Structure 1
Amino acid sequence: MASTSRRALRLLSLLGSRRLWPLRELAVALETGERTVRRDIETLRLLGYPIATVHGPDGGYRLGAGHTLPPLVFDHGQALAVAVALQAAPSTVSGLGDDAARALITLEQAMPAALRESMKSLRMTRLRDYWEFPAPPVDPAALTAVGAAVRHRHVLVTETLRPDGSRPGSADEDFAPARRVEPHHLVVWAGRWYLVAYDLGDRQWRVHRVDRLRTRPTTHRFGPREAPYDDLAHYVMSSHDRGDTPASWPCTGNARLDLPAGVVARWAPSGSVVEHLDTEHCRLTLGAWSWAGVAGILATFDTGLTDVRPPELVEACRRLGHRLTSAAATEGEP
């Protein structure tokens, strides 16, 4: 009986995790036979869970719309995932720290004793490393508005703000007029929220920092559009004009690299900026705790460097070159 109950709860959890489950896949996930799965489904129906049968070659089973799963159907892995996610997520969205802490307590109170202990065992302190420069936390209302526009395929009217969050004026050289875009994907990378959208003005795909967008939703719907890329992650990481700004470091410099902007943008440290110069060259602006640190990061790209700025960085590159030359000269000496 205990084994059957655990399996039924696991089945209920699976049905709640996605819209449709073929019978064969349920049997594999539960490590049991298809006849047993059918019997467990009937048991859940008798308990009042609206599990619908979808007929046809692409059919299976699904949980009825509007039904909320009780917290008791969390398994051990899900409980740990929730504990980690609620403690790690709030840093990218403003004001969610207290909400996440209260949500974690609420979930713990609703869990069975064994799962509650598992969740309590994962109390952690999240530390930021030297190279982690997330964007300012995104306003929850703004993020929800953009997410809703993505989900419902509603055109957004957007305006790009300055890095400090202020709005460019019409007389400012950085003035950016409002644009109409089709929002297609939300992506989180290196502590930043990005929106992948199709600009209806210049008919180009763009990557926008959500924290630097002022948006106004519309009721104008758009249809599916084939993206010009196969790998969404690669597209976002290799886009040099995604709105990033240099992080605050004691030493900040830049140089012209003999590499395409897309290559450098993907591998440059968080908090750096890549400027497209031509198809084979770009300018990388980055910082570190010392000029030697900036020079060392530039050297990791293993390519030609020219037009290095400022003079302090030029001198650091010269010293680093001497050190590496000396190290190579002593290789093999007794």
Structure 2
Amino acid sequence: MSDVTRRALRLLSLLQSRSVWTGPELAEELGVTTRSVRRDIDRLRELGYPVLASNGHGGGYQLGAGKALPPLLLEGEEAVAVAVGLRLAAGSGIEGLDEQALRALTAIDRILPPTVRAEVSAISEVLAVLDSGPSGVTSPTLLTLARAAREGVEARIDYERRDGERMMRRVEPYRVLSVARRWYLFAWDRDREDWRTFRLDRMHEARATTFRFTRRTTPDVESYVRESLSVGAYATQAEVRVLRPLEEVSPHVPAMIGTLTADGPDACLLRIGAWDLRWVAAHLAYLDLPIEVVDPPELIAEIAGIGAWASGGAQRAAGSEGA
């Protein structure tokens, strides 16, 4: 690294550490003339760093906000703080933030020095976001799969199915998503020759390979994952027409419960899965919205049974009050 490059990096570090520096202060810190400082400032500007200059009392040089975030220089402790903060954010359960934090963490983890990475891991082991609940997912698994998806390389996962059977799966990772405080991998299963959704907390091991894959045309990933978790995972499935606009119903149907599609401006179709139709009927009663059963017809009888049970309970309560 040349002296000019080294000095420019040192100058950038100084500008990041304080809001305003005068030319003479920077020259003294760098051991050069103010003219050299001005030249180095111009180099940083050419690289995309918005270095601002102001005259008069209290003026000087400062690093401003640009249209894009340029590369940052972080000291060891600063890098630890950023990485730990991203790991906490990735498990926060805040919609959208967790996946953005994971992408940022994947980018920064690659360039962390071994000593910093070890310190981040040690700190992360004793920290948790209590509101999010335990996810059962280790950081190495999360980062391995996110990095494999980003780089387009195959992965091998030691996966345990719901019935307890374990097997090695060869997958082409595309997305790592957080849904209802659980992490999932959306991937092409090389052995099944189909798209699959895997829960990360059921993985005993995940490792990336060096085999690159040609990216396939994917379905709508978020819709596919939501469908597989709320409907496809169950043997019993049902579809009803909710007589309310989609935007009104959506807040009441979590991703793990069912899928919604608009059916005109004043209605939407709800697809829902469960272990039995009685649970579906009970959940529809909880929604307390007008519906029409599309499929299966047996769901009508289950809804009627809940209605009869509720009506009988109300009559008994009224009779006891009048006695």
TM interval, short-chain normalised: 0.3 to 0.5
More helix per residue: 1 or 2? 2
TM-score with structure 2 setting the length: 0.45
Rg: which structure is higher? 2
